[in-house]
Amino acid sequence: MEEKLIGFETAKLAKEKGFEHNRLFYNKDGEIFHSIDADYMGMKITYENGKPIYPAPTQTLLQRWLREEHQIFVTVTEDFYNTPGWYFNIFHGNYPTHHRITNTELEIPPLDLYESALELGLFEALKLIKI
């Protein structure tokens, strides 16, 4: 099983919200590249040849960052009535006073793939971060 990287649009929003990751990046054209030198030297890279770059972590790593740094929890559940179908759930804040956001509230139908629901949930969760 292979971890799925976040998509380019999610990567751009993650960078805007303060996420930093220094192994894989998207360049301005949405192409992935690896930066061993940056990792080795502990550098924060934000540009390649004068063009902005964006971190390209796995969905799991971004999900963890949201949880640990911002107390935003993103989960995915199956829609048993519209199989196959997947919903994301976003919990922001502490239980029991947390705020919950789902596909339904945003008028988004169930998604066909778990990873697609997680990606959209991560994207929507990033929007909650105030910078």
pTM for the model: 0.84
Domain count, the chain: 2
Measured between alpha carbons, how far is 128 from 131 in angstroms, rounded to an integer?
10
Same domain for 67 and 122: yes
What was the pLDDT predicted at 47? 63
Task: Label residue 128 by pLDDT band (50, 70, 90).
Answer: very high
Query: Is residue 2, in this structure, part of any structural domain at all?
Result: no
Same domain for 49 and 35: yes
Same domain for 109 and 82: yes
Same domain for 54 and 92: no
Q: Which domain holds residue 36?
A: 8-58
Helical (H) or strand (E) element with 24: strand 24-26
Q: Report pLDDT digits (tens) over 24-77.
A: 888 888 888 776 544 444 445 666 666 778 889 999 999 999 999 999 999 999
**Average pLDDT over all residues of the chain:** 83
Cβ atoms within 10 Å, residue 85 = 17
Query: Is residue 131, in this structure, part of any structural domain at all?
Result: no
Same domain for 64 and 122: yes
Query: Percent of the chain, pLDDT > 70?
Result: 80
Same domain for 30 and 80: no
